[in-house]
């Protein structure tokens, strides 16, 4: 196996799952869709992928090589998947807080938590 594929195997294997999570993040909630939301969502998804790749390589380098090459993949994948989900989770929370004050012009109601 080439060194590039071996070093990025987790990213290649997780790509379909990340695509599913990214589409769900993009689509939910359907409304409201203010003008700033597209840029925010793109930024969050790009940041999640960049953090995933950086943490993947850090985790592979940090893993104890005494347990074999497979252990490096396991540690790198586990830690980087958690980082990806953390970034998306924080983005969902921040987006929810930002949308809480938005009004849906079609319905005239507020979205978000009631105070």
* Least-confidence region, from 27-31, 37-41, 61-65, 92-96: 61-65
Q: Is the pLDDT of residue 104 over 70?
A: no
Predicted local distance difference test score (pLDDT) of residue 106: 58
**Does residue 60 contact residue 75 with C-beta atoms inside 8 Å?**
yes
Of the candidates 47, 66, 59, 45, which has an alpha carbon nearest to the alpha carbon of residue 8? 59
Residue-wise pLDDT tens digits, 4-27: 777 677 778 888 999 999 999 999
- Give pairs for 57-61: CB < 8 Å, separation 24+: 57/7, 60/7
Q: Interhelix angle for 9-27 vs 69-99, to 10°? A: 10
DSSP class per residue in 19-66: HHHHHHHHHSS-S---TTHHHHHHHHHHHHHHHHHHHHHHHHHHS-GG
Chain CA centroid to CA 46, Å: 8
Domain regions of the chain by residue span: 3-100
- pLDDT for 67-97, tens place per residue? 777 778 778 888 999 999 999 999 999 999 9
- pTM of the predicted protein model: 0.76
Q: Which residues pair with 103 in a beta bridge?
A: 110
């Amino acid at each position: 196996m080439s060194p590039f594929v071996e070093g990025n195997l987790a990213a290649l294997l997780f790509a379909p799952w990340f695509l599913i999570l990214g589409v769900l993040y993009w689509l939910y909630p359907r409304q409201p869709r203010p003008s700033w939301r597209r840029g925010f969502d793109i930024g969050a998804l790009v940041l999640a992928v960049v953090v995933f790749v950086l943490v993947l390589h850090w985790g592979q380098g940090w893993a104890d090589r005494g347990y074999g090459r497979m252990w490096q993949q396991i540690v790198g994948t586990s830690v980087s998947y958690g980082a990806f989900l953390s970034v998306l989770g924080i983005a969902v929370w921040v987006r929810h807080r930002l949308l809480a004050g938005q009004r849906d012009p079609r319905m005239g109601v507020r979205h978000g938590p009631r105070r």
